Amino acid sequence: MTYQQVMPIGLTTDRSATDAALSAARNRATRATFVCLSLFTVAIYARPEDIFPGLAPLHLTFILGVLSALAYIVAMVSGHARFLWSREIRIALLLTAWYAVGLPFSLWKGGSFGVFTQVWSKTLLIFVLLTQTLTTVKRIHQLLWAIILSGLVVASFSIVQSSRVVWVGGRMSGVNQGILGWNFLGIELALMIPYIAAMLISQRSVLNSGVLAASCLSMLWMLVLTASRGGLLNVLWSTALTFVLVLRGKSRGRLAGIGIVVALFGAVSLAPQVFWERLGTVWSDSDTYSNPVQASAEESAQDHWAVLERSIEYTLEHPIFGLGLGNFEVASGLQLGQPSAWIGTHNTFTEVSSEAGLPALGLLVALFVTAITNVRDSSKALTRNPASSDLFLMARATLASLLSFVFGAFFAHLAYEYYLFYPVAIAVAVHYIASTSLRGDRAHPLLPRATSPAVPAKEELLCPL
């Protein structure tokens, strides 16, 4: 039976119009979930309890996460929303199953169970909810604004209220104890630069453009004050990707690119001495330094190499299930018997391989490859569609952001945290929106791995809600 044959009399036979009506109904049904997720995003990125300690007992992330889940369950049970499957969700569920199967084989079973239930399960929940609610470009922009404004507030507060933040050896740690502090800041800034550039191109508001520029500037300056070598390298890599994938060939893009380069050059040129001393160890091959800052930086680099080698050794010793989630620090500390050995892998990929085995590493890589491939295909399909310029920019920015995270993942262990799965969720959203928007265009056939639902049944066409 053809699509036209099941269409009721009196309804338009235009498939794109039907898709638009169903999409609008879904957006209304998941609005409460998305609002809670946006507030949750602010809670995990800005971490207001770090600025106002009195908020800590409220457990904002837990409350907002529960409300997000409940709101979506209500929408599902009432029939107003339908679960949207994607290949990324299936891979994440397979990864979850593998983590669960490996729990009995953990070095410290209680610790692994805690990471699985208290960290990973929450990350999986938020990732799934994001893929179900990010169904329009407007919502992607709103989510990005939540992250960008969080970065602006945290960086500005840390810079202005420098007496209230932690300083270690002349380096700013910042008020934030999450992704917007210390060495993690460079990773987050690298993820956001492509999106900031894309939004600067599409923005027509002077105020919004100013806020975007201010956020980028404040985070760049804070990055310099942290004197993070890996963070700077990640930002430089992200900037190069942004020029190639987002800004190239656009007049406003050239202006945005010039602004980003000027901001980066200005921040680096005004950097304090500790920044240059630590950066000098990157290209110096000396084994000893008389300068205590450089000696500390070199010791840190050697520690990172040591835990990397140790994580590879543990991977080869436990290739199937690994040591157990979160158990690398335990194994390393017990093996060496030194306080300094109780640290993470500083590498997301070897964190997974050493703690969950090579099959888990394969699934994580498959997740990255799938998200990158899908968003790349989406951007190609949107190239010749002028009406989808904003979506095209989001696709290119997401591609740059994902590639930036792959680079940054070699300098930090974030395998079980929320932050990795935000760009992946945006990639799922971009692919879904591109698939549905191009479905009726003969010049742009439905993308091969589309996440959009199948043709609606007769009952759904009669009553979308």
Q: Is residue 7 part of a domain?
A: no
pLDDT at 411 over 80: yes
Q: Out of 145-149, 215-219, 330-334, pick the least confident.
A: 330-334
Give the mean model confidence (pLDDT) for residues 387-398: 90
Q: Number of structural domains, the chain?
A: 1
To the nearest whole percent, how much of the chain has pLDDT over 70? Answer: 82
Q: Is residue 4 part of a domain?
A: no
Q: Out of 182-186, 207-211, 218-222, 392-396, pick the least confident.
A: 182-186
Give the mean model confidence (pLDDT) for residues 221-242: 91
pLDDT at 4 over 80: no
DSSP 243: I
Mean pLDDT across the chain: 84
pLDDT at 460 over 80: no
Give the mean model confidence (pLDDT) for residues 386-404: 91
Burial class of residue 35 (count of CB atoms within 10 Å of its CB; 0-12, 13-18, 19+): middle
Return the higher-pLDDT residue of 189 and 450.
189
Residue 228: the pLDDT is 86
- Residue 375 near residue 336 (C-beta atoms within 8 A): no
Confidence of residue 464 (pLDDT cuts 50, 70, 90): very low
pLDDT at 7 over 80: no
Residue 16: the pLDDT is 55
Give the mean model confidence (pLDDT) for residues 5-26: 52
DSSP 103-133: GGG-SSHHHHHHHIIIIIHHHHHHHHHHHHH
Residue 181 Ramachandran class (φ > 0 left, ψ -120 to 50 alpha, else beta): beta
Residue 445: the pLDDT is 41
Range of the domain at 90: 15-462
Give the mean model confidence (pLDDT) for residues 280-293: 60
Q: Is residue 6 part of a domain?
A: no
What span, in angstroms and rounded, lies between the C-alpha atoms of 446 and 378? 10
- Residue 258 near residue 229 (C-beta atoms within 8 A): no
Return the higher-pLDDT residue of 22 and 110.
110
Confidence of residue 1 (pLDDT cuts 50, 70, 90): very low
What span, in angstroms and rounded, lies between the C-alpha atoms of 284 and 239? 24
Confidence of residue 446 (pLDDT cuts 50, 70, 90): very low
Give the mean model confidence (pLDDT) for residues 189-196: 95
Confidence of residue 389 (pLDDT cuts 50, 70, 90): confident
Q: What is the pTM of this model?
A: 0.86
Burial class of residue 214 (count of CB atoms within 10 Å of its CB; 0-12, 13-18, 19+): middle
pLDDT at 158 over 50: yes
- CA–CA distance from 242 to each of 137, 194, 213, 321 (Å)? 19, 5, 15, 37
pLDDT at 285 over 80: no
pLDDT in tens, 52-74: 999 999 999 999 999 999 999 99
Q: Is residue 298 part of a domain?
A: yes
What span, in angstroms and rounded, lies between the C-alpha atoms of 345 and 308? 6
pLDDT at 9 over 70: no
Give the mean model confidence (pLDDT) for residues 364-382: 95
Return the higher-pLDDT residue of 170 and 463.
170
- DSSP H helices in 11-103: 15-29, 31-46, 48-51, 60-77, 87-102
DSSP 168: E
Residue 286: the pLDDT is 58
Residue whose C-alpha is closest to residue 402's, from 279, 213, 242, 266: 242
What span, in angstroms and rounded, lies between the C-alpha atoms of 346 and 333? 15
pLDDT at 364 over 90: yes
What span, in angstroms and rounded, lies between the C-alpha atoms of 129 and 37? 8
Return the higher-pLDDT residue of 80 and 149.
149
CA dihedral 243, 244, 246, 252 (to 10 degrees): 50
CA dihedral 287, 291, 293, 298 (to 10 degrees): 0
Q: Is residue 374 part of a domain?
A: yes
Residue 230: the pLDDT is 86
pLDDT at 290 over 50: yes
Confidence of residue 268 (pLDDT cuts 50, 70, 90): confident
Residue 284: the pLDDT is 60
Residue 292: the pLDDT is 58
pLDDT at 440 over 60: no
Q: What angle do CA 6, 80, 439 make, to 5 degrees?
A: 50
What span, in angstroms and rounded, lies between the C-alpha atoms of 255 and 258? 5
Q: Is residue 1 part of a domain?
A: no
Residue 194: the pLDDT is 96
What span, in angstroms and rounded, lies between the C-alpha atoms of 258 and 260? 6
- Residue 135 near residue 26 (C-beta atoms within 8 A): yes
